[in-house]
Amino acid sequence: MQLFVPPSLLGAATAALTGVEFCRVSALPPSGEFTCGALRQRAGAERSVAVFRGAAIGDLPQLLSEAVPRVRQIEQGELDAAVIFSRDVLPGALRQRVPACLRALVQRWSPEDLLLCAAHVLERLGAGIFPGSLPGVRLAGQSWSGAAGHGLQPAELLSVLPAAVPAVSGVSLESLRQAIDRCVVELGLKGAAAQCFAAGLLLYWDFADESHEISQTMEGRGNPRTADYWHGIMHRREPDAGNASYWFRRVGDHPLLRQLGVVLECWAGELGAGAEELTAVRGLVSGGRLDPFRLIQLSTQAIRSPGSAAERALRLVQHLELVQLLLWDVEGSFVC
């Protein structure tokens, strides 16, 4: 396997990985942007490529150790790509309760993670920019390192959690649909629960139109009116504050809102929220419940102030809201 690291870390990485026989180390181009085809050429005869874009070696040896089974799968043609995560974006109360297939669907990669890819995939993509042009990580191939930490740095809050407005997530629609279908079967979901679950995951990965195609045909369905909740989130992210408000009025006092109101501040703090973000989170709770209309206002503020504490708070709260609503589709109750 060919491992690429930032030029500033080449010496340290080479020293740290002395004796690791399954990979050789080279430097990434200084620009940080390069084509998949160029990366393939740099990999030479290697059948698999790993890319680490972090700022320090840190847990890289542990990440590589965790990567061995995935590298084997890639080189045997069982996976096109995979991610070994260095961070877990679920608070402790959720971590052990979220089904494995769903955990693999609610985390995106950051520079501190290890990206793995088959060389033939890079060759096929040619002029596409890595990693944004990857055809979608086979989501079942995602793993968490034994060195995984809990709590995100401010920059990570802006890179690994869904934004106020959908952006390019780097996952192909086809691979996502396949992963959703596998998870629906594994969890035994049927009817409205399965449809709401699919709408939610499509929205989590920024396929808003595809999510809308489902939720708009399911008015009033779910337990209770969960399809309308997904419909409201879609319009909030569109962004269409008026339409989002309409659907949240239809949702009414969903039990999830009251239960999120109790835990949001604690969970946001656990995931790395600072004083400014926590102030914004507290401002979303009214009468002991998450106020969806205040969340719409925060989303509007986040869009107008990219990189701000408002955006970081919005991403944190929205991530937790999305995950919990997915769990509601699975279990019909709040998971804590």
User: What does residue 106 show for φ and ψ, rounded to 5 degrees?
Assistant: -125, 35
Q: Kindly state whether residues 206 and 58 are assigned to the same domain.
A: no
Q: Which domain holds residue 42?
A: 2-150
Predicted confidence at residue 132, as pLDDT, reads 58
Low-confidence ranges of the chain (pLDDT < 50): 135-138, 336
Q: Kindly state whether residues 203 and 315 are assigned to the same domain.
A: yes
Omega before 224 within 30 of 0, i.e. cis = yes
Q: Kindly state whether residues 178 and 325 are assigned to the same domain.
A: yes
150-168 per-position pLDDT tens digit: 677 777 777 789 999 998 7
Q: Kindly state whether residues 327 and 186 are assigned to the same domain.
A: yes
Q: Is residue 166 part of a domain?
A: no
Q: Which two three-digit tokens encode residue 135?
A: 């055809």
Decide if 118 contacts 47 (C-beta within 8 A). yes
Q: Kindly state whether residues 194 and 256 are assigned to the same domain.
A: yes
Q: Kindly state whether residues 94 and 243 are assigned to the same domain.
A: no
Distance CA 22, CA 169 (A): 30
Paired strand residues for 26: 4
293-312 per-position pLDDT tens digit: 999 999 999 999 999 999 99
Q: Domain total for the chain? A: 2
Mean pLDDT of the chain: 88
Angle between helices 309-331 and 255-270 (to 10 degrees): 130
270-293 per-position pLDDT tens digit: 998 999 999 999 999 999 999 999
Distance CA 177, CA 292 (A): 28
Q: Is residue 246 part of a domain?
A: yes
The 3-state DSSP class for residue 86 equals strand
Q: Is residue 159 part of a domain?
A: no
The gap between the terminal CA atoms of the chain, to the nearest Å, is 41
**Three-state SS sequence of 107-149:** CCCCCCCEEEEEHHHHHHHCCCECCCCCCCCCHHHCEEEEEEE
Q: Is residue 164 part of a domain?
A: no
Predicted confidence at residue 105, as pLDDT, reads 86
Measure Cα distances from 213 to 105, 175, 227, 250 in Å: 20, 18, 11, 18
